[in-house]
Chains A and B, each alone.
Chain A
Amino acid sequence: MPADLDALCQSLATEATPASVAHGLVVVEVPTAGVLDMVRTLKDAHGFDMLLDVTAVDWLPREPRFDVVWHFWSTTGHVRVRVRTRVPEGDPAVVSLTSLYGSAAFMERECHEMYGIRFAGNADLRPILLYEGFVGHPLRKDYPKDREQPLVPYLTP
Chain B
Amino acid sequence: MKLPPLASLPNPVKSAFAPSAEGGPVIVNIGPSHPATHGTVQIIAELDGERVLRTDVHCGYLHRGFEKECEAHTWHNLIPYVDRLNYVSALINDFAYCDGVERLLGIEITPRCRYLRTLLSEYSRIVDHLTCIAAGLMELGAMTAFLYLVMIRDYMYEHLADLTGARVTYTYGRIGGLARDLPDGWLARLAEILDQYEVFVGRVHGLVDRNRIFIDRMRNVGVLSTADAIHYAYTGPILRSTGAPRDLRRDTPYLAYAELDFDVPVGIKGDNYDRYYVRMREMDESVHMIRQLMDMLPAGPINVADHRCTFPDKALVYTEIESLINHFKLVMDGPAVPAGDVYVAHESPNGELGFYLVSAGGGVPWKVHCRAPSFVHMGGVHRMLDGYQLADVVPTFGSVNMIGGECDR
Residues of A bordering B, CB below 8 Å: 22-25, 49-53, 55, 57-58, 69, 71, 73, 75, 78, 80, 82, 101-103, 105-107, 110, 114, 124, 126-133, 138-139, 141, 143, 145, 151-153, 155
Contact = CB atoms under 8 A, between A and B. Distances in A.
B407 to A, nearest CB: 9
B288 to A, nearest CB: 23
Contacts of A51: 233
Interface residues of B, number: 53
B371 interface: yes
Contacts of B244: 75
B148 interface: no
B367 A132 contact: no
Contacts of A126: 13-14, 16
Given A102-B231, A103-B233, A145-B68, A131 B13 contact: yes
Given A129-B408, A139-B67, A145-B69, A103 B376 contact: yes
Interface string B240-254: 000010100001100
Contact of A128 (B59, B251, B344, B354): B59
Binding site of A, secondary structure by majority: helix, strand, loop or mixed? loop
A154 to B, nearest CB: 10
Given A23-B103, A52-B352, A75-B244, A151 B12 contact: yes
Contact of B343 (A71, A133, A151): A71
B167 interface: no
A143 B67 CA distance: 13
Contacts of B69: 145
Interface in B1-35: 3-4, 6, 9-14, 16
B112 interface: no
Contact of A152 (B9, B67, B230): B9
Contacts of B9: 152
A53 B379 contact: no
Contact of A78 (B16, B72, B251, B409): B251
B356 interface: yes
A24 B13 CA distance: 40
A151 B16 CA distance: 21
A50 B343 CA distance: 15
Given A22-B340, A23-B342, A102 B232 contact: yes
A75 B230 contact: yes
B49 interface: no
A57 B342 CA distance: 13
B121 to A, nearest CB: 19
Interface in B46-71: 58-60, 63, 65, 67-69, 71
B380 interface: yes
A75 B13 CA distance: 35
A145 B65 contact: yes
B130 interface: no
Contacts of A102: 228, 231-233, 379-380
18 contacts: A23-B344, A25-B343, A51-B233, A53-B343, A55-B356, A71-B343, A71-B371, A101-B231, A102-B232, A126-B14, A129-B409, A132-B14, A133-B12, A139-B68, A143-B68, A145-B71, A152-B10, A155-B3
Contacts of B228: 102
Given A57-B358, A78-B251, A107-B379, A132 B13 contact: yes
Contact of B60 (A22, A131, A143, A151): A131
B269 interface: no
Contact of A103 (B16, B58, B358, B379): B379
B157 interface: no
A133 B14 contact: no
B375 interface: yes
A133 B9 CA distance: 13
Given A102-B380, A106-B378, A130 B68 contact: no
A131 B12 contact: yes
Nearest to B228: A102
B343 A80 contact: yes
Nearest to A124: B16
Interface in B246-266: 246, 251-252
B11 A132 contact: yes
Contacts of B103: 23-24
